């Protein structure tokens, strides 16, 4: 059976949480492979809403194993708070159901502080980060001064690692007129939570290798979206990790052959949180209507999402660089009641017609969408669970998207509820 990687094909917020939860019924294991608690995955199950940031979406399903891979950066305090929150909602979280890679890098309070210091100093040029310390934590990882989860059970190693990290951070903070970090206070804080984190630690790469050999079905859960990828996204308005499916193997300690099928979660329109280019944005009544109907507020930040029409150029490019085999089209019901819909089929840049999203920052900001209009529908699609329940014009819209992006729709989501999903092709069927 194919192991499936789920990734976003736009700027995140595509509805990955619900789809991962839906697919996890068919899987044995769900593993997060990148990002941190800047992710926001919302699940609605039997009327109960679960908001997850670090915990894999499979945690809400009894009997499923959830793993945090080495590619994730982990704020241990935020993780423990999230565990407490979902436990209070009746979800069992213990070391039998959750394992954490011992070589995953940690997010520390100093990373959050540095994130916010930089954003404040950037003024109008700020990136629009979540302020969770994700970027600075990845910087320390690449700079070989990170504190890793496994260091929590080795106090002397931890103390040494803190010293190395503070040589860098306190010099930075001095240049920003910020007070230096107290290394002993940081050490004491980490040692205080270490007993709660330690039981979850494991060589996740080794566990996954055994699971694969035993024929278990593995679901690799991505965060953010392809256009936020640090290499392939709208740089510098991106996240600090690779978000495409190739990272699923690296961020979990597996070879590239571990991934059998890549499912790209794709919203039926387009949204974005934070700064950066957005060619199809509708900063008008249409955008406001999409935002209101789609409840478009960031799960993590609470910030209103910018909204616009579907961008087939961007999604097609995400499919190519991400190796996406099929898409799950989400929030189709938000388009109910629109008399006419628009799809971006190309870009104008000066006198040129482009069929790709340019990599240069100035070109990205200057492109103008080429529109194709298509008939909308007045009937409700909310809660539909079969093709037969969809209006003919809705089916036409879906088929046109398939043509423009060159990839089939495998799933359709028609509401936040788990079972309001139309299965076209089961990714686990191969």
Active site members: 13, 41
Structure tokens of 90? 């009746």
Residue 287: alpha-carbon gap to chain centroid: 22
Name residues whose C-beta falls within 8 Å of residue 127's C-beta, 6 or more positions apart in sequence: 119, 236, 237, 274, 275, 276
CA distances from 35 to 52, 234, 344, 387 (A): 13, 17, 29, 35
Name residues whose C-beta falls within 8 Å of residue 34's C-beta, 6 or more positions apart in sequence: 69, 71, 72, 222, 223, 241, 242, 243, 247, 251
Going 57 to 58 to 60 to 65, the CA torsion angle's sign is negative
Return d(Cα 376, Cα 293) in angstroms, integer.
15
Return d(Cα 382, Cα 416) in angstroms, integer.
9
User: Which spans in 198-343 are helix H?
Assistant: 204-213, 246-250, 285-294, 312-322
From the list 244, 290, 221, 160, the residue with the least C-alpha distance to 16 is 221
Under 8 Å between Cβ of 219 and 66: no
From the list 250, 247, 249, 205, the residue with the least C-alpha distance to 224 is 247
Return d(Cα 80, Cα 94) in angstroms, integer.
11
Return d(Cα 417, Cα 46) in angstroms, integer.
7
Q: Helices 183-197 and 109-122, interaxial angle, to 10°?
A: 120
Q: State how beta strands 29-32 and 310-311 pair.
A: unpaired
**Token match 């915990």: residue?**
55
Structure tokens of 150? 């496994």
Tell me how many helices (H) and strands (E) the chain has.
12, 18
Helix (H, G, I), strand (E, B) or coil at 126: coil
CA distances from 293 to 287, 296, 332, 424 (A): 10, 8, 11, 25
């Amino acid at each position: 059976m194919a192991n499936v990687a789920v990734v976003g094909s736009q700027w995140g917020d595509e509805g990955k949480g619900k789809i991962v939860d839906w697919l996890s019924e068919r899987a044995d294991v769900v593993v997060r492979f990148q990002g941190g608690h800047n992710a926001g995955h919302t699940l609605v199950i039997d009327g109960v809403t679960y908001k997850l940031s670090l915990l894999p979406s499979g945690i809400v399903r009894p009997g499923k194993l959830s793993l945090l891979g080495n590619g994730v950066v982990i704020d241990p305090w935020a993780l423990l708070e999230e565990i407490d929150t979902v436990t209070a909602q009746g979800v069992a979280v213990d070391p039998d159901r959750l394992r954490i890679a011992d070589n995953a890098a940690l997010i520390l309070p100093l990373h959050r502080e540095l994130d916010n210091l930089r954003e404040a100093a950037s003024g109008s040029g700020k990136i629009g980060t979540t302020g969770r310390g994700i970027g600075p934590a990845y910087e320390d990882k690449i700079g070989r001064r990170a504190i890793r989860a496994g260091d929590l059970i080795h106090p002397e190693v931890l103390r040494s690692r803190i010293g190395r990290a503070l040589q860098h951070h306190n010099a930075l903070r001095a240049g920003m007129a910020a007070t230096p970090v107290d290394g002993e206070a940081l050490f004491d804080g980490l040692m205080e939570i270490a007993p709660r984190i330690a039981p979850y630690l494991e060589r996740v790469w080794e566990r996954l290798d055994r699971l694969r050999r035993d024929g278990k079905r593995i679901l690799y859960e991505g965060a953010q979206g392809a256009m936020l990828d640090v290499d392939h996204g709208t740089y510098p308005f991106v996240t600090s990790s690779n978000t495409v499916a190739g990272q699923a193997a690296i961020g979990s300690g597996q070879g590239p052959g571990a991934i059998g099928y890549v499912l790209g979660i794709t919203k039926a329109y387009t949204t974005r949180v934070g700064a950066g280019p957005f060619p199809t944005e509708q900063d008008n009544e249409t955008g406001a209507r999409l935002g209101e109907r789609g409840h478009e507020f960031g799960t993590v930040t609470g910030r209103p999402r910018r909204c616009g029409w579907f961008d087939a150029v961007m999604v097609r490019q995400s499919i190519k660089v991400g190796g996406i085999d099929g898409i799950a089209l989400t929030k189709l019901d938000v388009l109910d009641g629109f008399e006419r819909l628009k799809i971006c089929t190309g870009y104008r840049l000066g006198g040129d017609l482009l069929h790709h999203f340019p990599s240069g920052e100035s070109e990205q900001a200057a492109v103008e969408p080429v529109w194709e209009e298509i008939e909308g529908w007045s009937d409700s699609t909310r809660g539909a669970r079969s093709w037969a329940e969809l209006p003919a014009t809705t089916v036409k819209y879906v088929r046109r998207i398939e043509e423009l992006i060159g990839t089939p729709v495998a799933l359709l989501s028609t509401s936040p509820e788990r079972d309001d999903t139309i299965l076209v092709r089961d990714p686990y069927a191969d």
